[in-house]
Structure 1
């Protein structure tokens, strides 16, 4: 009897697609397969370039000291990866926090006032696509110090997503709600706090999550150029030493930290809005 392997493969693939993933598959199995694929690709490239690229086990063994002692201090410039991460996080929190304090009120102003929108929207559209690193020379000229310059670059690049999303949320509030508030002679400040603010919160948090992602992305690039204590300078310094083991460690730490930051903001959003944050495929 002749076996049609192609038909069996197609039938098996169709059955797999019809299966609804279980909770274990969604949370453990499928993510593990994704990570395994990345590790396999890394391993394959390392086998092709063994003189430069370490394999995953080699990188793990070489970074054991960083992993087991993340907060050591052995000299002015020799500190653990934990201290470098905290230094970068401090700059991000300061720059992002200042940007949030400025961006949300500006977003409300743009969303509620057509005149403000006409005045500020051209500036937003001009400055939004400017590369973060283009702001660094200006910041260095103003502050003449690396630390405040890095915070300023994070501040200026974190503004635009929050402003745009806040303005979109404010302008998207149903006009029927505003008309009812006017019929009830509700003061403007009560309209803002009771109607516009709650309705705009999902948009605001979307902008905050985008801004925080940009801030964490920018700090690595800025620290590469300004130097000092931070995870970005660590990447650049280890590359200059041709130590790719530590570079891979830093990439993993940067990615995991960015994931945790976004998760923290999503949890705050769920607490503030009293609703679960919708999951996305991306």
Structure 2
């Protein structure tokens, strides 16, 4: 059995040695952080540290591998189907297509740039109208129980309807393809903004509203000082969902209505059996949708705030 040695039971000389060893170890331990700092300032990095190169690799390598995997699958599909263009054939077609994206040879023959701008214009109008109506309506539904009970059955009934089912109604009412496509974007974009804004208002802590009642704040003060800061994250989530849905709908609506637009361009290329251009259009639709999403994510982050403790 091992015996536990108490330093106080040792001889004075041995006790002094133990004490000096302890002081030495404490001194080494206290100097270790300072030594690490000096080495870091000189450019050396300890084994447990994370190098910037490692962080860059983890940020860049996975997306690159994902895209490489997509291209590999694409190449395998093309190798088994001669009608399906290879990535290289599609890339060469894209270079020719984007060499002059804004040419115009008449109303039915315009460059890809004009088609993208026409679709974005329709999305901006329909989405803007949906935001102008949906966000205030969401505030009122979340704020007043009477309006909530009034509109909830309507929203539950109409929200599941496919946006393209509203396209014939738009054609019947507006007698034109362009307003009908904008109408389809409006009706599909408004529901996420109404629902998320209303949910955000309903989740405002009741203590805040009780304080507002005690202070006898006006409805405008309640909205600007209490509701808006609390509801903003929910509202921006609804806006993000709505813009993604709007961009999806415009492509399908333009396929049915015709005219200038990325959806009509895809359909026209299919009628011409130009499959490389269809694949290019799919990539463009994805990139534009991603750009819209990231723009709204950046907007949401700029308005985000965190509560800090004292």
TM superposition shift of 1:115: 1.0
Structure 1 contact 103–163 (Cα < 8 Å) conserved? yes
| Unaligned residue ranges in structure 2 (runs of 5+) | 1-52
Q: Please give the secondary structure, in 2, of the residue aligned with 1:263.
A: helix
Q: For 2:98, what is the secondary structure of its paired residue? A: helix
Please state if 1:45 is matched with 2:45.
no
Aligned-pair CA distance for 1:185: 2.0
How big is each residue's C-alpha offset from its partner over 1:221-278, in whole Å with a ceiling of 9 and x where there is no partner?
Answer: 0000000000001111111111110001000000000000011112222233457xxx
2:211 is the counterpart of 1:180: yes
Structure 1 residues 79 and 26: alpha-carbon distance in aligned structure 2, compared to 1, 3 A threshold? farther
Q: For CA contacts below 8 A with separation 6 or more, give which structure has more relative contact order.
A: 1
Q: 2: distance between equivalents of 1:63 and 1:224? A: 21
Instruction: Report the counterpart of residue 110 of structure 1 in structure 2.
Output: 141
Q: Does 1:245 align with 2:245?
A: no
SS, match of residue 108 in structure 2: coil
The answer to whether the Cα contact below 8 Å between 2:143 and 2:202 also exists between their aligned partners in 1 is yes
Normalization by structure 1: what TM-score? Answer: 0.87
- 2:144 matches 1:144: no
Confirm or deny: 8 A CA contact 1:165 1:204 kept in the other structure.
yes
- Asked if 1 retains the 8 angstrom alpha-carbon contact of 2:130 and 2:187, the reply is yes
Please identify, of 91-100 and 77-86, the stretch whose mean Cα deviation from structure 2 is larger.
77-86
Deviation per residue, 1:14-72 (Å, 9 max, x gap)? xxxxxxx943234321101111111111110000001x100000111122221222112
Instruction: Kindly indicate whether residue 57 of structure 2 is the aligned counterpart of residue 25 of structure 1.
Output: yes
Aligned mate of 1:99, from 105, 130, 144: 130
Count of residues in Structure 1 that have an aligned counterpart in Structure 2: 254
Structure whose alpha-carbon radius of gyration is higher:
2
Aligned CA-pair RMSD: 1.4
| C-alpha separation in 2, matches of 1:192 and 1:89 | 32
Q: Does 1:234 align with 2:265?
A: yes
The Cα of 1:140 is off from its aligned counterpart by 0.3
Cα separation, partners in 2 of 1:270 and 1:36, compared to 1, 3 Å: same
Question: Aligned residue for 1:219?
Answer: 250
2:50 matched to which residue of 1? Answer: none
Deviations 1:49-105 (A, max 9, x none): 01x100000111122221222112233322211110000000000000000000011
- Matched with 1:59 is 90
Q: What residue is the counterpart of 2:160 in the other structure?
A: 129
Conservation of the 8 A alpha-carbon contact between 2:107 and 2:260: no
| Residues in 2 aligned to 1:125 and 1:36: alpha-carbon distance in whole angstroms | 43
The verdict on how the C-alpha distance between 1:72 and 1:26 changes in structure 2, with shifts beyond 3 A counting, is farther
CA 1:26–1:72: 2 relative to 1, 3 Å: farther
Query: Aligned partners of 1:46, 1:32: CA distance in 2, in Å?
Result: 21
Distance 1:216 1:70 in 2: 21
